[in-house]
Structure 1
């Protein structure tokens, strides 16, 4: 088979190298075209060199087309894989640090809350430019596989306004599935799940083993687990009160709802600092910063280490390669995908991006009807969907009134801040991120005037949050090279979330 796959944001080592290994482990794909593009020429060159070395050592003749010219990379592509982070670590730091001044303490800040909303504003603006290029130069039947966060917002914008068929992909369901099998002492392959909701708030509404329904036994199993009872307190409490386990980590989930991070003196009651993903303030920013610094410093050694082996048993659980394999070969794949609802979950809005079970084969991607979510989980999802809809429309139109309303409706921001504080917080974030927000020109000018006029609401300047850890130096990371390599090279940087 011969077709073209383009990676946008290919300088992301964790996703790009792993996804390429997954794809080229499919025997039929040993003659595909591969194109990499990124705005950072240095990062792009490092990842290209490493992946080309992997290809060569696996005996394949594929030559990566690597270019900072996005349209050149997208030309005639049948599949586009997107892993961009607009603004990089510089913008990411403002997503975390500015809200902290107002008491909004985030672990991740890439899906909801103040950081996730602003990440969406930057990302949607650029994704619509990417969609324009895809429409103009890619293959007519192109499929955009989006791994970039905020997953639901970006996928929503691409489908509604970008004119490109887009599916959002995440590894959250697989991670929770593994946990569920572990608490029951079972092999993951023996446990069948139905998981449905929205990205990062997907609920395991049915768990079965050998035709026995284990859903009602899950709370006791988690409460009795030595690690998870300590590291997943938020998820277990949500399970206790809503009746179903949610996909995302303790740290992620804690910032999507209003109850666990609204009081600084209570945050440590709900988190664990053995792993960033269990709730550390700014934890994901820290490990991403460490990973990038380590990869750039240690890159020459990566070129000397064993290459990735392109073997079926080495493939990850990321959905992307299996979707492309199913579409191209007809082999059936069952996964969980982010797509426009269209009635799949009947008590969530039809236009929202939902995450639910789907099947892929030579006929395309099919989403079976789930029906109604339980009322409690549906209510949690519907609050988040309202924030997402406001944020998407704000990003597309450049309407800062809608942006401020998204902040108002966000569960954590609304729990911590009053309306005047939210208005000032949005002003600060717009000004700080001006270079990545072309759609907000007039709003940013007005925000600058207000901020310079004085009479501002006092904030906690320099506040580091309830549970902030120091970013490790390269010298400190050298003391455990294996851990540093794993952090830099993994797409899922919270895979070992329970381990201290």
Structure 2
């Protein structure tokens, strides 16, 4: 039976979801599930939830919980990473409030922009430390990374360690289902190929029973279909660039320079840009946590129906263990998979999974305009990854100067001052930058 280790298991709802996905496969039902977190209370809740899931599915995995990371990693076959370094307070608040002083507004700030850069710089050292333990304790294990910023973090792991890793997100699955609803066709009948980088991947093929669905989608958008109001930024990008992409409108708005601009409140209103959206989500989640925690820890509280999610993690483990192939969308290093993006960048592409592990599929050239937009994101990823190695402030400045949203709204002097203030405010959550 495989040993499947969760690092950051205190992300209780997500851990419950992934454990449920894994244990629904009969071939994985007797797996060893090792839960690890630095927060003992959250870890206890996650352990109780995992047992509830097993009982609801009538399976008997071995479940252990520990705050000892090395013990959790020892002889693991798969490691699922869901950590967040610095939490909502202080780090997420810092990522929003200091840029706001300089007139830089953000929506989510977990993938790109100055928020994504700082989140990456404080997370990469922890991920590399985990990988160093893996190189010693479970060198053949697969690392399934769910920690954002996805492309920055996963790229750093693959560039700086020997560990086999793939970054996983549910953005592609969500967008695929949404497009099927917009087009009025069954999801399982809507064929697609997406490629790019995490949260900035483009649907370069969209077909229903062999028919290209882009003409129909563009027609609906031009006619002002009701669904456009629910996703205004991504459909505006479709109108202007010819293809649909991105994780959501609130995400896409801060990856390009067109929607959040200093002194242009009209754009924010026109495209319904939810400034500070991630802050509001965190506040809601924190307010609900005490009641959730009580229910999680109550062994008599029913867990409800266990349904399979759209997350790819369990499918990867199942295919690696059984050899039964599947296709997922994963974040891997570009090795001529996308031929008009640089090799060594972290790209999100279709991947074949079987006993050989996760193998990226060659996509070829993306449409030039899609590759060009994606490259503006890749520039930031590569520069942030470099800064995580050099530990030089000038590389942090350059990453921010290359960011489309930051460069659109701030001068270079303002960017340097903002980065310095952010580095100081993060304190020991960041390594020392010279």
Q: How would you bin the TM-score normalised by the shorter chain?
A: over 0.9
Mapped partners of 1:10, 1:305: distance in 2? 20
Structure 1 pair 405/35, CA: closer, same or farther in 2 (3 Å)?
same
Q: Which residue of 1 aligns with 2:279?
A: 285
Q: Indicate the larger mover: 25-34 or 217-226.
A: 217-226
Determine if the alignment matches structure 1 residue 343 to structure 2 residue 342.
no
Mapped partners of 1:43, 1:26: distance in 2? 26
Q: 2:288 aligns with which of 263, 283, 294?
A: 294
Q: Which residue of 2 aligns with 1:266?
A: 266
Mapped partners of 1:82, 1:411: distance in 2? 29
By how many angstroms is 1:31 displaced? 1.0
By how many angstroms is 1:305 displaced? 4.0
Mapped partners of 2:375, 2:403: distance in 1? 11
Q: Secondary structure at the match of 2:166?
A: strand
Determine if the alignment matches structure 1 residue 231 to structure 2 residue 230.
yes
Equivalent residues in 2 for 1:140-179, closer than 5 Å: 140-179=139-178
Q: Which residue of 2 aligns with 1:447?
A: none
Q: Indicate the larger mover: 159-168 or 225-234.
A: 225-234
Q: Which residue of 2 aligns with 1:188?
A: 187
By how many angstroms is 1:331 displaced? 1.6
Q: Which residue of 1 aligns with 2:380?
A: 387
Equivalent residues in 2 for 1:41-52, closer than 5 Å: 41-52=40-51
Mapped partners of 1:305, 1:236: distance in 2? 43
By how many angstroms is 1:421 displaced? 0.7
Determine if the alignment matches structure 1 residue 306 to structure 2 residue 299.
no
| Deviations 1:113-171 (CA, angstroms, capped at 9, x unpaired) | 01000000001111111111111112x32100001100011111111112211100011
Q: Secondary structure at the match of 2:10?
A: coil
Contact 2:197-2:374 at 8 Å conserved across structures: yes
Q: Secondary structure at the match of 2:352?
A: strand
Equivalent residues in 2 for 1:423-462, closer than 5 Å: 423-440=416-433, 443=434
Unaligned runs of 5+ in 2: none
Mapped partners of 2:100, 2:320: distance in 1? 45
Q: Secondary structure at the match of 2:85?
A: coil
Contact 1:271-1:280 at 8 Å conserved across structures: no
By how many angstroms is 1:220 displaced? 2.3
Determine if the alignment matches structure 1 residue 201 to structure 2 residue 194.
no
Please give the TM-score of this superposition, normalised by the length of structure 2. 0.95
Mapped partners of 1:392, 1:227: distance in 2? 41
Mapped partners of 1:227, 1:37: distance in 2? 45
Structure 1 pair 77/24, CA: closer, same or farther in 2 (3 Å)?
same
| Deviations 1:246-301 (CA, angstroms, capped at 9, x unpaired) | 031010000001110013413433443xxxxxx32221222123213312333223
Q: Which residue of 2 aligns with 1:133?
A: 133
By how many angstroms is 1:14 displaced? 2.7
Q: Which residue of 2 aligns with 1:397?
A: 390
- How many residues get paired? 430
Structure 1 pair 30/399, CA: closer, same or farther in 2 (3 Å)?
same
Unaligned runs of 5+ in 1: 273-278, 444-500
Mapped partners of 1:199, 1:282: distance in 2? 21
Mapped partners of 1:238, 1:246: distance in 2? 8
Q: Secondary structure at the match of 1:439?
A: coil
Structure 1 pair 270/175, CA: closer, same or farther in 2 (3 Å)?
farther
By how many angstroms is 1:242 displaced? 0.8
By how many angstroms is 1:329 displaced? 1.1
Q: Indicate the larger mover: 147-156 or 280-289.
A: 280-289
By how many angstroms is 1:224 displaced? 4.7
Contact 1:21-1:309 at 8 Å conserved across structures: no
Contact 1:175-1:247 at 8 Å conserved across structures: no
By how many angstroms is 1:38 displaced? 1.1
Contact 1:204-1:247 at 8 Å conserved across structures: no
Mapped partners of 2:154, 2:171: distance in 1? 16
By how many angstroms is 1:56 displaced? 2.8
| Deviations 1:203-257 (CA, angstroms, capped at 9, x unpaired) | 0001111111112332223455754311211111111111100031010000001
Mapped partners of 1:324, 1:50: distance in 2? 21
Mapped partners of 2:227, 2:103: distance in 1? 28
By how many angstroms is 1:309 displaced? 4.3
Q: Which residue of 2 aligns with 1:360?
A: 353
Mapped partners of 1:36, 1:224: distance in 2? 51
Structure 1 pair 270/165, CA: closer, same or farther in 2 (3 Å)?
farther
Q: Indicate the larger mover: 188-197 or 220-229.
A: 220-229
